[in-house]
Amino acid sequence: MNYTVNLLRSQFVTHDVKHFIVSKPAGFSIVPGQGVELAINLPDLREQGRPFTPTGLAADRVLEFTIKGYADHADGVTRLLHQLEPGAELLMSEPFGTISYQGPGVFIAGGAGITPFLAILRDLARMGELDRQTLIFSSKAPRDVICEKELRHLLGDRCMLLCSSADAPGYDHRRVDRAFLEEKITDFDQRFYVCGPPAFMEAVNGALTDIGARSESLVFER
């Protein structure tokens, strides 16, 4: 790991997702959408790096992470990250990854897969370039939707929220499948950014290519 950073503050965003504000090393720079490895700087944990995506703006003087904690992962790092107090030391790698903004398109996220898109959409908001972007964001239930108010505010009608296991007003109670995409999207000759659990990515990328999206127009972590 290349950097030692400090946890400055953590705060719940949903019942199992927290924002972590972390000190930013001098000279550290990142492209919105890229990830880093983080490990807790304690003897048994410093080799246990896990990938996470900074969600703040590149020019911010601190780093923000948005991390879902898995309380049921017995030896899980996210469970321990959620228990850290301000002042705790983390080890951080150089940025890596293949998700970056390549032009207007449709961002399709499942659960914590929203994090690279939070970084990218916030950056586009800063530049006033959100008008040609669409977000399709699938969560289990309304209480699981990460940064819901901010995303609805930024994208208005172009923020489509789906809940796979709850029927509630304001959310489509369905999955992101071929039928949903054909109903909501008219132009498949544009970019599609896809991020979520492996099964989600496989299903969405498969549906998109079946409908006619070009594989070179799909942006996802390879």
Ligand X SMILES: Cc1cc2nc3c(=O)[nH]c(=O)nc-3n(C[C@H](O)[C@H](O)[C@H](O)COP(=O)(O)OP(=O)(O)OC[C@H]3O[C@@H](n4cnc5c(N)ncnc54)[C@H](O)[C@@H]3O)c2cc1C
Q: Output the CA torsion sign for 157, 206, 121, 4.
A: positive
Q: Is 50 in the site for ligand X (CB under 6 A)?
A: yes
Count of residues touching ligand X (by CB under 6 A): 22
For ligand X, the closer of residues 76 and 142 by Cβ is 76
Under the criterion CB under 6 A, does residue 67 sit at the interface with ligand X?
yes
- Residue 201 is encoded by which pair of tokens? 């990515």
CB of 167 to ligand X, least distance (A): 26
How does DSSP classify residue 100? -
Q: Is 122 in the site for ligand X (CB under 6 A)?
A: no
- The footprint of ligand X on residues 182-201 (CB under 6 A) is none
Among 26, 59, 74, 127, binds ligand X (CB under 6 A): 74
Strand-pairing partners, residue 159, are: 135
DSSP state for residue 162 in the 8-state scheme: E
**66 vs 185, which CB is nearer to ligand X?**
66
Minimum distance from residue 66 beta carbon to ligand X (Å) = 6
Convert 28-64 to b/e letters by CB count within 10 Å (16 or more is b). Answer: bebebbbbbbbbbbeeebeebbeebbbbbeeeeeebb
What contacts 52, CB < 8 A, 6 or more positions away? 35, 36, 37, 38, 65, 67, 115
Told to check if 35 binds ligand X by CB under 6 A, we report: yes
> Angle at the Cα of 162 (from 12 to 54), degrees rounded to 5?
40
Nearer to ligand X, 72 or 187 (CB): 72
**What DSSP designation does 170 have?**
T
Residue 77 binds to ligand X (criterion: CB under 6 A): yes
- CA gap 36, 51 in Å, rounded: 6
- Residues numbered 94 to 113 that lie near ligand X (CB under 6 A) are 97, 112
Candidates 19-27, 61-69, 148-156, 185-193; binding stretch for ligand X (CB under 6 A): 61-69
Residues in touch with ligand X (CB under 6 A): 35, 50-53, 65-68, 70, 72-79, 97, 112, 115, 221
